[in-house]
């Protein structure tokens, strides 16, 4: 099974038997219960990293029921020795526990062993969250360059980036948008996000203007994917633009404009940080981003980095400070 997703249609029992040594495979059962293709890909990678430690590069051929608490502790210690981030290690542990749960449900793992695995504690610790907030000058440079272009690709890219920056969409959400998901009359977007969650957001005027230009002058208002591939010579296709395609567009713009490198997700981080900077409460930002927890939203706030930088610039080793001192009821000041 080179690709994680067995097939887009319902997987048949025959297909399952061909792909695995056993039709009752706990790793396969665990992956199939994950509804997101991205989640399946991520967790399959986690399982591969574990099975490869025991000499099996194919997680679907590994005997997961043989894993004991001690073996898993060895896996965790090895990951710590490799300086893996706590979140990465805990994600792998989550995958192991998920497979153990399926193994127990299939009676391939005894109850005592399952509970020993289930009770393994997560690794404590944290790393600085990745990504950055784009400066206002960078955003201005991007749109100054794109808005003066007359090609279909430039008009599409301006609308796409404006939507990601102005509404905080993930690139997978942008790629999945159909034109029917946009209410141009009310500047409203119907977004289908992670975990099969649907949410509503609204386009700022600048975003709505660029979106209308893309639809009216290039794409057309026919049904189908909102953003499509454009071949050379401005040949607009009806093929949906992929998440990889969106990443490629960003990389090209970074190179052309000699910008500091940023990712599509940095546009989402910038959106969250600017909302907070403009005084929006964090619950509103959480809803706009489609997060399940405020804790996740807090990780998108990149303003603190700028504040630390400003504090360092204002700090001086040679500057003298005064402190007040009360002697016999009289307040005086002394330099320290």
Asked whether the beta carbons of 158 and 143 are under 8 A apart, the reply is yes
163 Cβ neighbours under 8 A, 6+ residues apart = 169, 174, 189, 203, 207, 210, 211
Query: Which structure tokens are listed for 334?
Result: 């002394």
Q: How far apart are CA 33 and CA 25, in angstroms?
A: 12
Note whether 172 and 38 are within 8 A (CB).
yes
In the block, tokens 């279909």 appear at: 152
Q: What distance in Å separates the CA atoms of residue 239 and residue 230, rounded to the nearest whole number? A: 9
CA distance from start to end of the chain: 70
φ, ψ for residue 12 (rounded to 5)?
A: -90, 160
DSSP states of 23-56:
SS-HHHHHHHH---HHHHHHHHHHHHHHHHHTT-
**Sheet harboring 198-202: ordered strands across?**
182-183, 188-192, 198-202
Contacts of 42 (CB under 8 A, 6+ apart): 91
Dihedral angle computed from the Cα positions of residues 65, 70, 76 and 79, in that order, rounded to the nearest 10 degrees: -90
Cα 315 to chain centroid distance, Å, stands at: 35
What is the three-class DSSP state of 328? coil
Catalytic site residues?
A: 170, 194, 265, 268, 291, 300
Burial class from Cβ neighbours inside 10 Å (0-12, 13-18, 19+) for residue 321 reads exposed
For Cα atoms 107, 111, 112, give the angle at the middle one, nearest 5 degrees.
145
């Amino acid at each position: 099974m080179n690709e994680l997703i067995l097939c887009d249609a319902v997987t048949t029992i025959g297909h399952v038997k061909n792909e695995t040594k056993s039709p009752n495979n706990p790793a396969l059962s665990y992956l199939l219960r994950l509804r997101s293709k991205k989640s399946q890909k991520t967790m399959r990678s986690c399982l591969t990293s574990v099975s490869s430690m025991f000499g099996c590069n194919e997680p679907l051929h590994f005997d997961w029921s043989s894993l004991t608490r001690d073996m898993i502790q060895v896996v965790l210690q090895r990951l710590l020795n490799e300086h893996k981030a706590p979140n990465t290690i805990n994600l792998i542990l989550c995958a192991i526990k998920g497979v153990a749960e399926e193994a127990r449900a299939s009676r391939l793992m005894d109850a005592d062993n399952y509970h020993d695995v289930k009770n393994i504690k997560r690794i404590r610790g944290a790393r600085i969250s990745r990504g950055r907030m784009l400066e206002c000058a960078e955003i201005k440079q991007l749109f100054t360059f794109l808005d003066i272009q007359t090609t279909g690709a430039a008009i599409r890219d301006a609308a796409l980036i404006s939507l990601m920056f102005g509404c905080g969409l993930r690139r997978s959400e942008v790629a999945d948008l159909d034109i029917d998901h946009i209410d141009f009359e009310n500047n409203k977007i119907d977004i289908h996000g992670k975990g099969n969650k649907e949410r509503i957001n609204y386009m700022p005027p600048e975003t709505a203007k660029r979106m209308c230009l893309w639809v009216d002058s290039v794409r057309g208002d026919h049904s189908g994917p909102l953003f499509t591939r454009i071949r050379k010579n401005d040949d607009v296709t009806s093929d949906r633009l992929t998440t990889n395609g969106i990443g490629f567009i960003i990389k090209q713009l970074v190179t052309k404009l000699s910008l500091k490198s940023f990712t599509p997700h940095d546009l989402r981080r910038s959106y969250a940080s600017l909302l907070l900077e403009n005084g929006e409460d964090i619950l509103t930002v959480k809803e706009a981003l489609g997060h399940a927890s405020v804790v996740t939203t807090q990780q998108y706030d990149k303003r603190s980095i700028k504040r630390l930088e400003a504090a360092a610039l204002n700090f001086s080793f040679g500057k003298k400070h005064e402190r007040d001192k009360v002697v016999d009821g009289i307040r005086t000041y002394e330099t320290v």
